[in-house]
Structure 1
Amino acid sequence: MHLSSLYRFPLKSAAGEALPQARSDALGLVGDRRWMVVAAGTGRFLTQRAVPQMALLQASWQGTEALRLSAPGMDELRVAVPGTAEMRSVQIWRSSTVVPDAGEAAATWLTRFLGQACRLVYLPAEEGIQVDLDYAQLGERTAFSDGFPFLLIGQASLDDLVQRVGRPLEMLRFRPNLVVSGAQPYAEDGWKRIRIGELEFRVAKPCSRCVIPTIDPATAERDADREPLATLLGYRKGEGGVFFGQNLIAEGTGELALGMPVQVLE
């Protein structure tokens, strides 16, 4: 087995970027989900669940000091990593935190593209959100993810789902960080600990899926037949949701690169 794809999502719920290699830090992949769009009035996070056109937002790091935003019909915008002059209280699921606001230019740009008043916020690497203590130790943190630092999916699992659905499906619909090839379909369901290269991970819990996989990442349109969720409901439904992929927590930090061997430790 080996690491066959590596994805980073600089801006939560925006388009992802494929990487040949990446470092990890205490929050996950360096630069992953460090930016987030929130409603201007409430500070609550916005995602493709309610705002599908976020799929068309392209966000890429410019070194470590700025983010470049682009979208159809919009001029590109460079947003510097903000300092602490303006802080904003934000909410992501049941967690709340106070983080730097990225300023008026970014807010105006995003408000125009998304059609609602919003702000762009940033999570410094030294901060982070505590991972659910039902699955993690005190001090284990994540960035603006839906709960965990890493999401892993087996390529064979997607291949099996594609065969069941009967049409191609992009892996990016499921927004993983790590894709492993060379295993049987859904083999990841039985893993408890793995090593990729020299970095070890605990498999925390299965990933419950929302409506985002039904959104075409190229067009931001929801599939009328609600695929692939409709098919997943038929054979991947369990207590608490429909599951596809596994959430991981790294034990330490290190380098990840395509082609690295993947070893099941437990």
Structure 2
Amino acid sequence: MPQPFTPVLHALRVHPVKSVGGFTADSAVVEPWGLAGDRRWVLIDESGTAVTQREAPRLALARAEPLRDGGLVLYAPGLEPLEVAGPGTGGAGTAAPRGGRRTGGPRLNGSRTAVPETGVGVHLAEAERPADADDVVVNIFGTEVDASLADARASDWFSRHLGVEVRLAHMGEPASARPVDPAHARPGDTVTFADSHPLLVVTVSSFDALNSLIAQGDHADEGPLPMDRFRPNLVVAGTAPWAEDEWRRITVGEVGFRVAKPCGRCVITTTDQRTAGRGKEPLRTLARHRRIDGKLVFGQKLVPENTGTVQVGDVVRVFTD
């Protein structure tokens, strides 16, 4: 009997800087700790604590795209684009923006309310840091990670954008970097500066179903919400709504992923990524319809089982046991 759905990879999204706008790609390299180039950079305050859209919603208005050397081009309203030199860590490279190029110039297209479940209070060493880089310890949700500070111009650029002093830091090869929350991982699983796990997957059908529920609620004027509210890495089409609740493992092309846990959502999802304003949705609707184990959930956290390349259009195989 033919299956009623044929899941496929519908979209790929890479966010080079944590909590900053990213880019859509046609393909991406999967590393043990996530998509190549995803959330390897983070902003920190004067104490070394990671700064996110939870406390700095204006980060939504900035955007980062990759350069061939591992650096970035930064964009934000009212500021000139800025190129940030790569840290020289090597590796497999990053995805290129869809329709754009990883080149040497900006020619490319285009207070905390929840604490992610990392909670592993350890101090970790970073590999392959450039010898001339300034070291810094980043505190991200209870874990301390060694990182390298970017050029001061990048920190000044973000400080002007936010109106508060911040610094931009980079994580080298994360092979021995942040451990994934052991309650939802296996020994040796690591993650970059993502909240808790290497990747996040959502489905088009669940996204559409959520927007339909929002349209029936008290804050229908806030919808429909765009996908970028949820900052996924992988977007899968061709499934039934909420089918991902039953997933235990998936493969995308030749790359396998363990489904670790549902993604608990926070105030960032209420932040308009084009204005930085905040509303009630989708948290109000998730609270009514998608409360699991006390958390408001949308999407699933993933851990790669092997490395490889995934691309839009790849067949997604789903395993539920």
TM-score, L = length of structure 1: 0.96
Report which stretch shifted further, 125-134 or 2-11.
Answer: 125-134
Structure 1 segments, 4+ long, off by >6 Å, are none
CA contact (8 A) 2:16 2:39 kept: yes
Largest Rg, 1 or 2: 2
CA contact (8 A) 2:32 2:190 kept: yes
Deviations 1:71-111 (A, max 9, x none): 11111111112334310011111211111011311111111
**Which string of whole-angstrom CA distances, capped at 9 and with x for unpartnered residues, describes residues 165-202 of structure 1?**
11311111001101111111110010001111011110
SS of the residue aligned with 1:144? coil
TM-score for both structures, normalised by structure 2: 0.80
Q: Which residue of 2 aligns with 1:210?
A: 266
1:224-263 aligned within 5 A? 226-263=280-317
Quick check: 1:100 aligned with 2:105?
A: no
The aligned length equals 263
Q: Is 1:69 equivalent to 2:125 in the alignment?
A: no
| CA offsets 1:115-151 (integer angstroms, 9 cap, x no match) | 1111000011244311111121222111100010010
More displaced stretch, 122-131 vs 202-211: 122-131
Q: CA deviation at 1:239?
A: 2.3
Distance 1:232 1:265 in 2: 25
Distance 1:107 1:173 in 2: 25
**What are structure 2's unaligned runs of at least 5 residues?**
1-6, 88-129, 216-222
CA contact (8 A) 2:202 2:235 kept: yes
Residue 52 of structure 2 is matched in structure 1 by 47
Structure 1, unpaired ranges of 5+? none
| Number of the residue aligned with 2:100 | none
Percent of pairs identical after alignment? 41
- 1: distance between equivalents of 2:74 and 2:302? 28
1:199 equivalent among 232, 245, 255 = 255
- What secondary structure does 2:207 align onto? helix
Give the partner amino acid of 1:229: L
Q: Does 1:181 align with 2:237?
A: yes
Structure whose residues are more often strand by fraction: 1
Mapped contact 2:174–2:190 kept (Cα < 8 A)? no
Separation (CA, whole Å) in 2 of partners of 1:201 and 1:58: 28
Q: Matches of 2:251 and 2:70 in 1, distance apart?
A: 31
